[in-house]
Amino acid sequence: MSGLLEGKSVVIYGGGGAIGGAVARVFAREGAAVFLAGRTQEKLDAVAHDIAAAGGKAETALVDVFDQQAVEAHAAAVAAAAGGIDVALNAVSVPHDQGTQLADLTLEEFLRPIDGFLRALFITSKAVAPHMGGERPGVILTLSEPGAKLAVPGILGHAASAAGKEAFARVLAAELAPAGVRVVGIRPHAVVDAPEAGSYTKELFTPEFLEAGLAPGTLLKRLPTLAEVAETAAFLASDRAAIITGTVANLSAGALVD
């Protein structure tokens, strides 16, 4: 029985991270050839090792997502080797302040997530788009956060960057639709097991805060897991979701209700 992504080539930026790694493992399980890009070889190798041990295919490359020429060269190399790029996910993390309100927030702290996340999303999308579409439909997946719609003190930069990523994905979906490329956002809440998996958010979110502070505010009274985010991403990247584009999948466990 073929997997959801059998025969597809996938590039995951930030593939050594908590979410990127989880998605990569599921994509490989579903039959995709996974190309992991990131800045820490040890983390990339760990994910690639897990994929290979499970019988999947993964290659790694050290790529600084903020180096536009390097990202474009890597995407071109992947496309040449695989005959194109079917799916791309930008799972790059940009550590930033959360909790500081306007009176004490510096301009640099405010702009760090906005510039970092949107710069990375622009560079990676621009690199992969020319290698997608036509007879080989493509999918660009993006990640945002409930902060895109929440009115919570202390997350000005975080919220603005999340809203910007969702707006970027929506407009990009309109631009790339004629070429047969879908753009779909994924909006998980704080992922409960991401800090344990090495996410930088371990500095922000303790297990106690996640379980006692955030989980009770959701309709389901719990937070999403890495596995749930990854399984949803696999479905959205697959041909079973071929009619879905220009929208955001709400994985907030009911913290937000659209």
How many Å separate Cα 255 from the centre of its chain? 19
**Residue recorded with tokens 């047969």:** 180
Its pTM stands at 0.95
On whether residue 2 sits in a domain, the answer given is no
Q: Which domain holds residue 235?
A: 9-251
Answer whether residue 80 is part of any domain: yes
Question: For the segment 49-65, what is each residue's pLDDT rounded down to a tens digit?
Answer: 999 999 999 999 999 99
pLDDT, tens only, 102-117: 999 999 999 999 999 9
pLDDT in tens, 66-87: 999 999 999 999 999 999 999 9
Q: Is 65 helix (H, G, I), strand (E, B) or coil?
A: coil
Answer whether residue 208 is part of any domain.
yes
Query: Is 3 within the bounds of a domain?
Result: no
Could you tell me if residue 17 is inside a domain? Answer: yes
DSSP H helices in the chain = 18-29, 41-53, 68-82, 107-128, 156-176, 207-208, 226-237
Residue 153 lies in a domain: yes
55: domain CATH number is: 3.40.50.720
Confirm whether 37 is domain-assigned. Answer: yes
How many structural domains are present in the chain? 1
